[in-house]
Chain A
Amino acid sequence: MTIDLTQMQPGESGLIIEIQGGHGLIGKIQSMGLRPGKKITKVSSHFWRGPQTVEIDNLQIAVGFGMARRILVEVQR
Chain B
Amino acid sequence: MKIEKILLVGNPNVGKSAIFSRLTGAKVIISNYPGTTVEFTQGKMKFGEESAMIIDVPGTYTLEPTCKAEEVAVQMLKEGDLVINIVDATNLERNLYLTLQLLEKDKPVIVALNMWDDTKHRGIYIDVKKLEEHLGVPVVPTCGLTGEGIKELINRLPEAKALKTPLSSDSQRWEKIGKIVEGIQKLTHRHHTLLERLEDLSIKPLTGLPIALGIIYCTFWVIRFMGENLIGHIFEPLFEKLWLPLMMKLSAFLGERTFLHHILIGNLIDGKIDFGQSFGLLTTGLFVPIAMVLPYIFSFYLILGLLEDLGYLPRLAVLIDNFMHHLGLHGYAIIPFILGLGCKVPGALATRLLEEKREKFIAATLMAIGVPCMAQIAMIVGLVGQRGGKFVMIVFSTLFVLLIIKGLVLNRVLKGSSPEILVEIPPYRIPQVTAVVKKLWMRLSGFLKEALPFVLLGVLFVNILHTLKIIDFFAYIFTPVLTGLWGLPKEAISALIVGFLRKDVAVGMLGPLNLSTKQLVVGSTVLAVYFPCIATYIVLIRELGIRDTLKSTSIMIIVALAIGILLNLILV
The residues of A with any CB-CB pair to B shorter than 8 Å are: 10, 24, 26-33, 35, 37, 43-51, 53, 57-67
Contacts and interface: CB of A to CB of B under 8 A. Distances in A.
A50 B421 CA distance: 10
Given A46-B319, A51-B331, A27 B62 contact: yes
10 contacts: A27-B64, A28-B422, A48-B322, A50-B205, A59-B94, A61-B423, A61-B425, A62-B424, A62-B425, A67-B420
Contacts of A64: 321, 330, 419-422
A43 B322 contact: no
A71 to B, nearest CB: 11
Interface stretch (B47-55, B196-204, B527-535): B196-204
B174 A30 contact: yes
A28 B423 CA distance: 11
A20 to B, nearest CB: 14
B122 interface: yes
B61 interface: yes
Contacts of B420: 51, 63-67
Centre residue among B122, B204, B314 by max chain A CB count within 10 A: B204
Contacts of B205: 44-47, 50
Contact of A57 (B61, B94, B203, B204): B94
B321 A44 contact: no
B421 A62 contact: yes
Interface string B407-449: 0000000000001111111010000000000000000000000
Nearest to B178: A37
A8 to B, nearest CB: 14
Contacts of A62: 203, 314, 317-318, 321, 331, 421-425
Contact of B422 (A32, A45, A46, A58): A32
Contacts of A29: 422
A33 B203 contact: no
B37 interface: no
B318 A58 contact: no
B146 interface: no
A69 to B, nearest CB: 10
Contacts of B165: none
B93 interface: yes
Contacts of A47: 205, 322
A5 B200 CA distance: 18
Q: Interface of chain A, helix or strand or loop or mixed? A: mixed
A61 B330 contact: no
B62 A58 contact: no
Interface residues of B, number: 36
Interface in B304-334: 314, 317-319, 321-322, 330-331
Contacts of A66: 420
Contacts of A37: 178
B322 A53 contact: no
A30 B422 CA distance: 11
A50 B424 contact: no
Contacts of A44: 200, 203-205, 208
Contacts of B235: none
Leading 3 A-B pairs by shortest Cβ distance: A64-B420, A33-B94, A31-B61
Contacts of B170: 26-27, 30
B554 interface: no
Contacts of A33: 91, 93-94
A28 B63 CA distance: 11
A3 B349 CA distance: 39
Contacts of A67: 420, 422
A52 to B, nearest CB: 10
A11 B423 CA distance: 20
Nearest to A67: B420
Contacts of A31: 61-62, 64, 94, 97-98
A75 B182 CA distance: 23
Given A43-B204, A50-B205, A64-B330, A59 B174 contact: no
Contacts of B318: 46, 51, 53, 62
Contacts of A24: 66
B90 interface: yes
Contacts of A60: 199, 203, 424-425, 427
Contacts of A50: 205, 321-322
Centre residue among A29, A51, A58, A59 by max chain B CB count within 10 A: A51
Centre residue among B178, B208, B317, B425 by max chain A CB count within 10 A: B425
B90 A46 contact: no
Nearest to A33: B94
Nearest to A10: B204
Nearest to A23: B170
Contacts of A32: 61, 94, 422, 424
Contacts of B62: 27-28, 31
Contacts of B98: 31
B204 A58 contact: no
Centre residue among B64, B94, B122 by max chain A CB count within 10 A: B94
Contacts of A61: 422-425
A15 to B, nearest CB: 14
A53 B317 CA distance: 12
B109 to A, nearest CB: 18
Nearest to A68: B420
